[in-house]
Amino acid sequence: MSKDKEAVLNYLENVNRPYSASDIHKNMHSECTKIVIQKALDQLVTENKIREKIYNKQKIYSSLQGSGRNIHEIEKNVQHLESEIFQKLNVLKELEEELKSCEYELRKYESLLTKEEAEKKKNELQSDIKNLETKLKLLSDNKIFISKEDSDKIKENYTFVLKTYKKRKHICMDILYSILENYPKNKTLLMEEIGIELDDENVIATLKM
């Protein structure tokens, strides 16, 4: 028998009560690694030198010495362990719920601005408000001036629009007079019939100023 396996067997025989592999590793003060202890336990079970039982998906190991005399005590210890496991599972569930709640609160606060960010945003908004108030006052006092560049661009667009308007109006009137040559009624009735409206000469005159 290997030294590690013998140490595990001696421990279980000395304590004479069931333990899990993790408990054995902790109680032996880490004389062997957990992997070595688990391997020793598996071998001892195979060799029928210790007993293995599964409670709530956890393997529990106990010595076979005096099993007839101590079986009641072993079962009692196992029940005690089951009770402890059940209580710890409930505590774990409560802690998990608390953790979820804390994580939710953390995400909520992470989405908020820091004091420095809020101060910066406040200053930006105050600056925007001041600029808008100044612009509003100028509009109210009719003191808004445009640059020469913007003025030239507006005039250029106006000239283009007016030129296009006159060209299309000329084409339209040519078509109208062509129709009138064979139309039995006057121009006014023809325009009413086909839905043509004359432009407002006052508006055009204003545009030419």
CA distance 166 to 180: 21
CA distance 150 to 195: 38
Whether the predicted model's global pTM rises above the 0.85 cut: no
Q: Is residue 45 part of a domain?
A: yes
Q: Is residue 109 part of a domain?
A: no
Q: Up-side HSE of residue 84: CA atoms within 13 Å toward CB?
A: 9
Residues 73 and 132 in one domain: no
For 208, residues 6+ apart whose C-beta sits below 8 A from its C-beta are 162
Domain of residue 199, residue span: 148-207
Q: Is residue 110 part of a domain?
A: no
Would you state the pLDDT for residue 28? 85
Would you state the pLDDT for residue 200? 53
Would you state the pLDDT for residue 42? 92
Determine the 3-state secondary structure of 203 from DSSP: helix
Return the residue matching tokens 């709530």.
56
Residues 91 and 167 in one domain: no
The pLDDT profile of the chain, 209 residues, written as one tens digit per residue, is 678 888 888 888 888 888 888 888 888 876 778 899 999 999 999 988 898 888 777 888 888 765 444 556 656 777 777 788 888 888 999 999 999 888 888 887 777 777 788 888 888 888 888 888 888 887 777 665 677 888 888 889 889 888 888 888 888 888 888 888 887 888 788 778 777 776 655 444 444 44
Q: Is residue 32 part of a domain?
A: yes
Would you state the pLDDT for residue 179? 82
Q: Contact 102/87 with Cβ under 8 angstroms?
A: no
| Residue that terminates a domain, selected from 104, 124, 157 | 104
CA distance 61 to 81: 12
Return the residue matching tokens 């204003």.
206
Residues 12 and 77 in one domain: yes
- DSSP E strands: which ranges in the chain? 50-55, 58-63
